[in-house]
Structure 1
């Protein structure tokens, strides 16, 4: 619950946060008369700003807060010509970057919007985003609640992506990501699965571990695999994959199972695209990118031999960004492969094509420029088969 005073009365409402952020302890009312500098000071103190003004002005204020949070800090040792501390190296620089991202999200999350029992917004010039909220968060709560404007805009952005979809050249079709499900905007990893030669027997059966939107399962089915068994733990992702496979006319070729990693049985081909960075997710929505300790990667490798058919292949799709950030070494990966009784049969590499690969502006830019995404072809070691 969050609590505030309004018109001399003490009021409260349920607090909703998809990111898991705690409710602000102090909340004050804010409207169009609040200057951006004053708002910035309040959020820096941890005060939530419950908006009572024009909705579009709330969006302008959020942008103003972003500019103030993102502006470079002046050198505290004399400005120009002062001595600068040496830039931290990875992995420390990565952890500092993540801390800064979390702090930025916390401050921006303190601009609050009240939602009506039907997910409506009772503010001047407020759009009707009830459908977007229902897609992201489910049925309307039937009682007023409070959310951060930043998370509300995230739900609306996801709604627009879901409507528009992402064109996947390997399918010559669009994949429609749902809220909280990783979008296949990085098409290079899809191309790897579309182009690698299928191992013998894969035309009959393949497993995909952690299907997400269902894009890789769809690619396998379009390549002629008669039956694909795709697993996924997240209910949102399962619903998303089901929707996409139905749109593509592939629901009869792909069986979806809610499972942590492997289904029962063995297959000639098992494909997995785990989260690439072994770091803690700051919110549930980040779990497709961050996996603390590389739990899914290591679980896939440890269980692969027991689920591969004789002479079968496991395809591990993995970026080496974690290696450039010094979060994981190539030796670590090869050691886990060997410890699981596996051997590397081959590897197909591709350079990322997405915009962030060449974009500067943060401490990760150099690592992104050097990044390579690989499809590792793994088989059971000859002495273990």
Structure 2
């Protein structure tokens, strides 16, 4: 029998998507070519601009528009600005100094807040109003209500990440259009609104994607987009069955030729011997799931000092990674990946979207047949 296609949902219809597949925004891998390829194939591509200023973000948006006339998503970080602590930062640099020395380098004299949060970035906000991307998404929290209202009035569809019901309720109350339900399995930065780092024990319930999606679908009226641990069509079909209206996938697209991932990252993901993943705070200052590496080992060491705030810690993380890479050591890189990383496939992005769509249809058809 012919496979039953996924039913169009509110969010996929609104964005003109022919398949419920969203490529996650990833600062380490997203490119205009990747976003355009996914959108052109009927999904929703994404750009990550949280690590850029407004000028650079405008340029990648325009690059993507030269490659596609279809909607795509632009993602920013809406975290609380870092609280500098000179003593804490100095202790962290002292801790890292022997590792820097191993690669013939010295740590910086001080650390900087290298990324400006969107909540303070007036230039990025004004650029969005001028460029009007089809979708803007928020991670780590929400900007001020006046900005949300103005972006919506400009015709921009808004997404925001949630890891629990309280965050989802705040998203719904703010008038955001869809919730990205980020399960514990997801690669990249954990999207919690409040992260106190080493200041206090985490109160994160660590909800997995399935439990989180069902809880949010039951308790909110907004479309829910599932993300975390989804690597193939069976995973997409599963979250659709749970009530999600689309599946957002990041790790699945890292090995695509259009991504910005470096050779070591790609080869590790597709080697067939993918290392375990872990939540690593020591790279950036916020927990982010990636391939367990030398930074994770530094974080686990007994007696290590407190880790500075995000993104201040990232300043040291990037510098140490650069020093190590100069000596052909990739063990300090931010190789973000979800728990299902061993299922990664190295396919062109458009081909991957086609394969995922076919797998999703087949999985839905099999489930219908099994229920007869």
- TM-score computed with the length of structure 1 as normaliser: 0.27
- TM-score computed with the length of structure 2 as normaliser: 0.27
Structure with the bigger RCO (C-alpha within 8 Å, sep 6+) is 2
Tell which structure's C-alpha radius of gyration is larger. Answer: 1
Which protein has the bigger helix share? 2
Which protein has the bigger strand share? 1
